[in-house]
Amino acid sequence: MRSSKISTWVAWTFSLIVILFGVAVFSLAVGAVDIPLRKAFFLLTKGQGTPEYAILFEVRLPRILLGFAVGGGLAISGVILQGMFRNPLVEPYTLGISGGAALGVCLNMVAGGSRFLGLLATPISGFLGAVGVVFLVYVIGARGGGIRLSRLLLIGVMVSFMASSLIMLVMAVTKTEDLHGIIFWIMGSLEEPNFSLTRSVTFISLGGMVLSFLFAVDLNALSLGEEDAFHLGVEVDRTKKFLFLIASILTGCCVAVTGIIGFVGLVVPHVMRLLVGGDHRILLVTSYIAGAAFLILCDTLARVVIAPMELPVGVITGLVGGGVFVYALSKKGYSF
């Protein structure tokens, strides 16, 4: 039985890796300018300095890498939080992280922070806003000793509403030229001109995947309830702190660089539970790969649907992810 389960896990992981590779290759080849794969391989070896080479390796490839990191990071953040809270509607943005990041970016754009920090102004302000909200939610949620998950969730939801209200206030009084930038950022985009940021997010995302996998067995226990997890030998409070920190840092880094890209952390874990089951030892790995493939595919659609214009990727993830989520919930016998 055990060997059969491991074989199934290996088969699913391999299949998803193949899908991820296929989606990445498809994304590399299509766009406003279609570049056949045969020509892409030629450009890789002898095409440096050509416009096609710049399109492939300076525009599309960094977007694919960023989609891999952000899609995977948001997906495993969703797995972690849904496992902790035992709530199928919890996602990385539920705790107010996205609201804090968006508020930070709004204030930065209104204050003209780009004059001092240049291209780094937006991701830095977004990350500081996300970290500020995480700190606030944690401090309030941990008052009185220990972390009560229900309290933490309610505080996160309320802080998220407050941040949204402040964002609307800022948008109502800001100049028209700043308003366009704020709205476009809020809808999400994988267009990031600073490759060092893309590389940093990739390392953080992969590191978060490794760290979260170390807590896979603890997440299995927490999914049964905190009391059962305690009787199974899990240090509940310590584990919750680490998991909350991992999910928060991953989400904060992703949102700071790409803006708010919804539904990845909500939909992908649900679909993977339908396919591979609820064991976090396989759920974390497959969700990371599936989240990466899903976001790269959505970004590709955002680039080609009305080419040469580009849609915000958050529009595509919302439409596709919402439809998939409704379908997953309608499946007979589905349960969290």
Mean pLDDT for the stretch of residues 314-336? 73
In terms of Cβ atoms closer than 10 Å to its own Cβ (0-12, 13-18, 19+), residue 326 is exposed
CA distance 103 to 110: 11
Mean pLDDT for the stretch of residues 231-259? 85
Mean pLDDT for the stretch of residues 303-312? 82
Contact assessment for residue 210 and residue 248, using Cβ atoms and an 8 Å cutoff:
no
CA distance 312 to 303: 9
Supply 98's token pair. 């996205």
CATH superfamily of 2-330: ABC transporter involved in vitamin B12 uptake, BtuC (1.10.3470.10)
Q: What pLDDT was estimated at residue 309? A: 79
Helix (H) or strand (E) holding 175, with range, is none
CA torsion, ordered 93, 74, 79, 283, to nearest 10 deg = 170
Q: What pLDDT was estimated at residue 158? A: 87
User: Does the model's pTM come out above 0.95?
Assistant: no
Q: Cα–Cα distances in Å, from 313 out to 87, 131, 223, 240?
A: 26, 24, 32, 32
CA distance 283 to 275: 9
Q: What are the domain boundaries of the chain? A: 2-330
Supply 10's token pair. 């290996």
Instruction: Tell me the per-residue pLDDT of 158-209, one tens digit each, with 9 for 90 and over.
Output: 888 888 888 888 888 877 777 777 787 788 888 877 788 888 899 999 999 9
Residue 16's contacts (CB-CB under 8 Å, 6 or more residues apart) are 286, 289, 290, 293
Q: What is the DSSP string of 191-254?
A: --S-HHHHHHHHHHHHHHHHHHHHTHHHHHHHTT-HHHHHHTT--HHHHHHHHHHHHHHHHHHH
pLDDT at 74 over 50: yes
pLDDT at 114 over 90: no
Q: What pLDDT was estimated at residue 65? A: 94
Q: What pLDDT band is residue 1 in, cutting at 50, 70 and 90?
A: very low
The whole-chain average pLDDT of the chain stands at 83
Mean pLDDT for the stretch of residues 62-77? 93
